[in-house]
Amino acid sequence: MRQWERSTKEKFHRNLVLRVKQFDLGRELTGCYPGAVEGDVVGGTMDGKTVWVAINKTATNGKVGKFEDIIKPEARNYTPPNGYLAFNSVRGNNHEFKANWVNKFADPDSELKVGVPIQIAPVMEMGGGIKRFKSNNATMYRAFILNTHETNTFQQPTDVHKAVSEIFAEGQAAFLTMVAPNEPRETMVLWRGWRDGQPIPLDEAALKVMADPILSKLENIQQRDGKIDVVPLESMFVSPGTAESIDKGLFANIAIRDYSTGGIGGRIEAALKNSRNLNTSDFEKGFLAGLDKNAKGAFAQYGWKGVWTSDIVKFFQDLEIEPPKVPTFGYSLSTAVIKRYKPEEGVESCFLTKARSLGSTVSRDFVPTPSDKESIERFFNGFRTLVSQTITCLENRKSLEKEVSRSEPTNDNSLAKVFDNTTDIGDSDLLPQKTPCVSI
């Protein structure tokens, strides 16, 4: 048996997907269950790296799958070599790691989407409700997959038109990012669309690229020596079974919380925690001053995530600051499993059955593409700048109020002041005479 040495500089990974090479039930790590697995990391910052992973013993993971069971063909979570395992809460360094949990992710012959931005969000009805599957009444979730590995970059609008036509022909949508020097990035999604229950003819649908207002935007990017990234966008439902597990709060297939941006409240809360050398207490006091009793109670219990977005937006707008728009669900670099179903008669359908988020979750406008790889950093820096700007604004307002109060003339009408300024009249006749009491 080999005893692993624990590194003093361990790195944390929320999720890790591994393509199995071999199991070694004799390997041991202090504080872990017996055995370890060797494999190649699939997706994320360590993509392709070969590592060993053991399972940590915790107070809550007594029912975690053990490697001695995972290697048995009759086991439900049986994973042979070249199969895939998903680990959660992983810590380690170099080539040795330990995780708090492990689940079977996919069989060797499964179709995977590796290291691509994915958004998973509930499907909303026209009236505002949530759509549900008829088979099991589970929430309908739709996955949007940006196949960034197939990105093409252009400058000419005619080249963009051709690329969009080819994407439409594959039954996908086109995600465009327009990047020009010293200008904010702009994004858009182009859909082929439907008419009378049928897809709009391909040539007609693609012509929208060569018409305003889209054409004007593309020509502007060309004139400014910018670049246009065209990314195929694939859309599919999360399978009913996986959707049901999400509704039950299970994380084996998809941890839906990993695909939440936290909203503007969550992002401000994170920015405040990471703000250094800033008096963040004034920020919170300034925000609470404009809230009603119920909102203050929600803030006291849940923090920034517990208050309405409208209250947060109003706070910034009162300071003449325009806050960013942050959707509830965003895109995260992920590895996912796709299942396709081809009936004997009918059209093939596909579902997303499992996914692991391997990075930060950001809104669509900040998904990195080849021409703009720094967008995620810009997304988070934007909130740090927002916090700093707001604190400065609050301090300036407080200073201005003090200056105004100093410059206003005092109007002290206290009784003491009146008596001090009154002439001493002593026993003057001006004093009213006492009237004796009269008994009746």
Mapping DSSP onto H, E and C, the string for the chain reads: CCECCCCCCCEEEEEEEEEEEEEECCCECCCECCCEEEEEECCCCCCCCEEEEEEECCCCCCCCCCHHHHCCCCCCCCCCCCCEEEEEEEEEECCEEEEEEEEEEECCCCEEEEEEEEEEEECECCCCCECECCCCCCECEEEEEECHHHCEEECCHHHHHHHHHHHHHCCCEEEEEEECCCCCCEEEEECCCEECCEECCHHHHHHHHHCCCHHHHHHHHHHCCCEEEEEEEEEEEECHHHHHHHHCCCCCCCCHHHHECCHHHHHHHHHHHHCCCCCHHHHHHHHHCCCCHHHHHHHHHHHHHHCCHHHHHHHHHHCCCCCCCCCCECEEEEEEEEEEECCCCCCCEEEEEEEEEEEEEECHHHCCECCECCHHHHHHHHHHHHHHHHHHHHHHHHHHHHHHHHHCCCCCCCHHHHHHCCCCCCCCCCCCCCCCCCCC
pLDDT computed for residue 399 by the predictor: 87
Contact 116, 146 (CB under 8 A): yes
Half-sphere exposure of 362 (CA within 13 A, CB side): 20
Rounded Cα distance, 240 and 141, in Å: 9
Rounded Cα distance, 219 and 16, in Å: 42
Rounded Cα distance, 331 and 101, in Å: 24
| Residue 96: CB atoms within 10 Å | 18
Kindly report the pTM of this predicted structure: 0.86
Rounded Cα distance, 54 and 31, in Å: 10
In the chain (440 residues long), the average pLDDT of successive 10-residue segments reads 53 95 93 96 95 95 93 95 97 92 96 97 90 96 97 96 96 96 93 92 92 94 96 97 95 95 94 80 90 94 93 94 92 97 83 96 95 94 92 88 75 48 44 38
Rounded Cα distance, 106 and 87, in Å: 13
Rounded Cα distance, 38 and 24, in Å: 8
Instruction: Give the β-pairing of 96-106 and 50-55.
Output: parallel
Which of these, 56, 57, 2, 46, lies nearest to 24 by C-alpha position?
A: 2
- Token readout for 363 is 């809104």
Sign of CA dihedral 248, 253, 256, 258: positive
Query: Domain segments of the chain: what residues?
Result: 11-109, 117-255+330-370, 262-326+387-392
Contact 296, 307 (CB under 8 A): no
Instruction: Tell me how many degrees the CA angle 211-212-213 measures, rounded to the nearest 5.
Output: 140
* φ, ψ of residue 241 in degrees (nearest 5): -65, -40
pLDDT computed for residue 406 by the predictor: 79
State the architecture of 11-109 in CATH terms. Beta Barrel (2.40)
Contact 116, 149 (CB under 8 A): yes
